[in-house]
Structure 1
Amino acid sequence: MMTSVVIKEIVVEDKRFPLDSGAGSDAVHTIPQYSYAVCYLKTDSPLTGVGIAFTLGSGNDLVCKAIEYLSESLVGKEINELMANFGTVFSQLSDSPTFRWLGPHKGIIHLALASITNACFDLWAKTKKVPLWKLLVDLSPEEVVNLLDFRYVEDLLTKEEALEILHQGQVTKSEREKILSTGYTGYDTSVGWFNYPDDVVVENAKQAVAKGFKAMKLKVGSKDFSRDINRAFLIRETVGDDITIMLDANQQWTLHQSIEIIRQLKDMNPYWVEEPTDPDDVLAHQTLARAVSPVKIALGEHVPNKIMFKNFLQANAMSFNQVDTVRVGGISEFILISLMSKKCNVPVIPHVGDMGQIHQHLVLFNHISIGLPDLFLEYIPHLRKYFKFPVTISDGRYKVPENYGSSCDFVE
């Protein structure tokens, strides 16, 4: 028998956390303060839905204010009824006749929508008394499609095509459920933050390998290009050829600079080069992907919505899709973008602005239900102590979460 849970109140919190010196820094975001705009869905039961959107501190209060505005219509709604056709709810929230002007579908308003959407999914899973991944994996293809808003993307992926992908996934689903016993492979991003000196990067790389990580990331994008090149080859020399290394420029280079520098980095064998140039420039990434092949391009951390992802996929401008559920409009849009990526045969390896809390659930769904490959998931440990159920890594692999919901409850 389904338990009825009604949303009675929306509470919003601006949460900001200190970082150790140099942690979180990249070529563009040199003084980050990891922060969340948190949406709490208070109910007529002991359950509370918790949703988050990620920022770097400044402006986090603006996202919180937008959550207050956008979430008003949810008060009085029963969560299971709300989620039965969430694609329509998502469309109504994202296309508010007045707030839409402030986007549309990007920036502060869309970050607020992410927090609200993620809170709805968290509450839904809690009412079912299951982890989010379990809730999603157990949904029928039709139920998954009802969560999604296909407006503006049907030239790439129709509802019928999405259903076909999901039905095909059902056939071999049991084979991929083996991931639940092994856990999902992680890669260590905290090895090579931009402001870390070389000796710290080297020591971090050694420690990551000792902890069982087989992949790691180095921040690049220095004004002095030689610093990037030297550090990249240094970390390759440190860990050897058997370890996967990704490079992340965080949008620092122009197109011409990207081509020049990536060609010089080619010999250290990067698995990908991430966000080399402006995140809205589809044609520049298309040109770059062709120019530096076989070096692969990854992007998505700052891509705001399904339309932009559609364009990148249509242009063959990326080899790896790094969609982030706390950047786009939340879990619903993340799933839709993952389905588009599956159709285009582009792996989804999310950016974890949530520190992996939600994405550890979503990559399991992507692999088990959609059939996307289980490559690895970014791991950033800096906010673990603030979560009630922090992600757990053992021998370089994410342990499958067992707590109810999306793992976003904070320590009181």
Structure 2
Amino acid sequence: MKQSILIQSGSSRDIQFTLENGAGSDAVHTTPVYAYAVCALQTDSRLEGIGLALTLGAGNKLVCDAIDYLVRHVEGREINELMADFGSTYKKMADDPNLRWLGPHKGVVHLALASVVNACFDLWAKSRCQPLWQLLIDLSPEELIATLDFSYYEDILPREEALSLIKSQAAGKESRLGILKDGYPGYDTSIGWFNYTDEQVITNIKKSIDLGFTALKLKVGSANADRDIRRAELVRNAAGPQARIMLDANQQWNLPKAIAICKKLMAIDPFFVEEPTHPDDILAHLHLSKEMSIPIALGEHVPNKIMFKNFIQSGCMSYNQVDAVRVGGVSEFLLISLLSRKFNIPVLPHVGDMGQIHQHLVLYNHISLGHPAILLEHIPHLKEYFKFPARVLGGRYKTPQDPGASTDFKEFVLEKMALYH
């Protein structure tokens, strides 16, 4: 069922949450503030499109200012007409000449683009009374392709090839629908935040396993490498030999240090090491991948499709952690997923949205693109603030059923925000 809905105006909302007791801490952020630069699209109906981009504190206001500029590209547009050729509007926003000097396609302006794009997809799904995953898998390949901007991908994934790739997966689509009932497997990031004591980590591991998780992540990247190695061994011993253990260095090692530490960490058989060095240094990642056997996961701080294009082709990326609230929203996420599928690199998103949007996107990736359903990160610290929080039971994400992208906040959050500002 389609509703004709006009986007009358758009505006930003600055929503921030201070985490406590060491939650969210890593080698960079010792006292993190999880912040969302929110795009809200007001319409001629009761529906509102809500998009998210993640930041970590004071910079959130800069992204909100950029949102307030970019929304002019979608104001006055009917949502179905807009999304029928959204790739063209996406390109106009991404290449806006007034902001291009500030990017292009990275930093504040690209985060703002993510928020606006995500709001459009949320509104589109709501206009059809569908959860986002359902909307995406119901679209014809041609309709899906029309939401993407293939600029600079013509040499590696032209539009016609992307269309053929989607169509080639149709034969197995029915058999992959079982994931909707079974739930998408998750992994627990929250057992091993950087500032947690060893005792907290051990306690958290036991709780996590009791909740059904079989995959866990530890934050590393300490100034003292011995601490990382000791804590990694502690996690392996507490979780047991069958558990998948991921390690996240949050970009803290230069190449020589990454090589040396990763070779020692190989002893605990990690499932992957995440962001082992500077996120722009493709050659360093490539060199590291040849020096040690731990799979490399990256993408949390890879800002756009061009950087992903180069990382994917380089051969150093084992797992693609593209994040729809970091790159240019759902549209760019889907394009990067298509390229990753071509190169048979699994997509395990980083969840700056706390898994709210990504629980929809991984279902599309698996059902329509044939990506393997491996794992989706789970971080529960903000679930009380969302109107339709992601639900994880028995270590698996339950399939969302409410219309939209699961990005609506509860009323008390909006009221608190209004008082704060």
- Give the shorter-chain TM-score range: over 0.9
Deviations 1:163-209 (A, max 9, x none): 11100111110011110110000100000000111110111011100
Partner residue, 1:37 = 37
Partner residue, 1:146 = 146
Deviations 1:374-411 (A, max 9, x none): 00100000000000000001100000000000000000
Distance of 1:257 and 1:207 partners within structure 2: 33
Does 2:228 correspond to 1:228? Answer: yes
Distance of 1:281 and 1:70 partners within structure 2: 30
> Do the aligned residues in 1 keep the contact of 2:11 with 2:71 (CA within 8 Å)?
no
Distance of 2:26 and 2:153 partners within structure 1: 32
Instruction: Point out where structure 1 has 5 or more consecutive residues left out of the alignment.
Output: none
SS at match of 1:71: helix
> Do the aligned residues in 1 keep the contact of 2:73 with 2:89 (CA within 8 Å)?
no
Partner residue, 1:137 = 137
Does 2:174 correspond to 1:166? Answer: no
1:2 to partner: Cα distance: 3.3
1:154 to partner: Cα distance: 2.0
152-161 vs 171-180, greater mean Cα deviation: 152-161
Distance of 1:160 and 1:55 partners within structure 2: 35
For 2:220, the aligned partner's letter is V
Partner residue, 2:397 = 398
Matches within 5 A, 1:78-227: 78-227=78-227
Alignment size in residue pairs: 411
SS at match of 1:172: helix
Distance of 1:58 and 1:151 partners within structure 2: 32
SS at match of 1:298: strand
SS at match of 1:262: helix
Partner residue, 1:335 = 334
Partner residue, 1:366 = 365
TM-score of the superposed pair, with normalisation by structure 2 = 0.97
Distance of 1:351 and 1:18 partners within structure 2: 20
> Do the aligned residues in 1 keep the contact of 2:11 with 2:67 (CA within 8 Å)?
no
Instruction: Point out where structure 2 has 5 or more consecutive residues left out of the alignment.
Output: 412-421
Does 2:295 correspond to 1:296? Answer: yes
For 2:106, the aligned partner's letter is K
1:58 to partner: Cα distance: 1.8
Distance of 2:244 and 2:73 partners within structure 1: 46
Distance of 1:346 and 1:158 partners within structure 2: 18
Distance of 2:182 and 2:344 partners within structure 1: 24
SS at match of 1:313: helix
Partner residue, 1:345 = 344
SS at match of 2:18: coil
1:9 to partner: Cα distance: 1.3
1:74 to partner: Cα distance: 1.4
Identity %: 59
For 2:265, the aligned partner's letter is L
1:24 to partner: Cα distance: 0.5
Structure 1 ranges of 4+ moved more than 2 A: none
Partner residue, 2:415 = none
Distance of 2:109 and 2:342 partners within structure 1: 29
Deviations 1:310-358 (A, max 9, x none): 0001111210000000000000000000000000110000000000000
